[in-house]
Amino acid sequence: MRLKVFSSSSKGNAYALIDSKGNSLLLECGVPVVEIKKFLDFNLEGIQGCLLSHLHGDHSKYHKQYLDSGIHVAMGIETATGLGIENHHRVKIIEANRKYTSMLNEFTVIPVNMVHDTPCFGFVIKHEEMGNLVFITDSYYSPFKFSNITHWLVEANYSEGIIDSEGYGTTNSLVRNRVLESHMSIENLVKLFRANDMSKTKNIVLTHLSDTNSNEKEFIKIIQRSTGKMVHVASPGLVLDISINPF
């Protein structure tokens, strides 16, 4: 199993999970679909679908291209209604805490409600080649504890220390407060990991780092120190082997 990062920032978010048979599950619609097509050599037959966490543009901007390309996109009803596509024949409405399987039963997905300023799902994704992966984006904390997680693809948007040192005045105080109430800080991420059993975790991939309020190298050190696990940053172009048994 490979994890491919196309983009992970406020400009756009998109990832893919690709198994050894060429079956893939897409996460988010935040980059033009042609980027997905190029990576897959324009063979879309293996795409099992796409999971869309919420309606904000950096995650959903190109949803129409995905649908027009024959890709089924799964999302919550609030997201579908907000985008005006709740009746589209390739949109699958999913509910929190229910189990879903992909078209060929390769991937199993359980959506979970996250804490953002608009309805937002995280996902627990299971595949025999990778075990369990948790995907959390745009949530200032996780209201859930998870078990038997092999890989984490999770937001580390900002540092409380950095954002408080940036000198936010009256004009930008609303921006600061929105970030604090809708995105995961590195401090809250440490708390999340401490609250969960990390014994089976192999990889942690940090996503959605702020250009101005994060420090990539320091974030990696912080999470490595607190978990003892392999830590990566979701840089565009990253391809990571997340197989349970990579050799």
For 148-166, what is each residue's pLDDT tens digit?
999 999 999 888 777 766 6
DSSP lists the bridge partners of residue 231 as: 204
Task: Please give the sequence-ordered ranges of beta strands (E in DSSP) within the chain, or none if there are none.
Answer: 2-9, 12-18, 24-27, 47-51, 73-75, 91-93, 100-101, 108-113, 121-127, 131-136, 151-155, 203-207, 230-233, 239-241
- What pLDDT was estimated at residue 169? 37
What does the pLDDT read at residue 234? 96
Distance of alpha carbon 106 from alpha carbon 104, whole angstroms: 5
* Count of all residues that appear for the chain in the document: 247
Instruction: Output the pLDDT for position 158.
Output: 87
Identify the pLDDT of residue 180.
Answer: 57
* Fold of the CATH domain 2-241: Metallo-beta-lactamase; Chain A (3.60.15)
* Residues of the chain where predicted confidence (pLDDT) is lower than 70: 103-104, 164-182, 246-247
Structure tokens at 206: 């940090």
Burial bucket for residue 247 (CB in 10 Å: 0-12, 13-18, 19+): exposed
DSSP string, 123-192: EEEEETTTEEEEEE-S-SS-S----S--EEEEE--B-HHHHHHS---HHHHHHHHHHHHHS-BHHHHHHH
Each residue's pLDDT tens digit, 68-101: 999 999 999 999 999 999 999 999 999 999 999 9
Q: How many CB atoms lie within 10 A of CB 3?
A: 22
Using an 8 Å Cβ cutoff, are 14 and 28 in contact? yes
Find out whether 186 and 158 touch, Cβ atoms under 8 Å: yes
What is this structure's pTM?
0.92
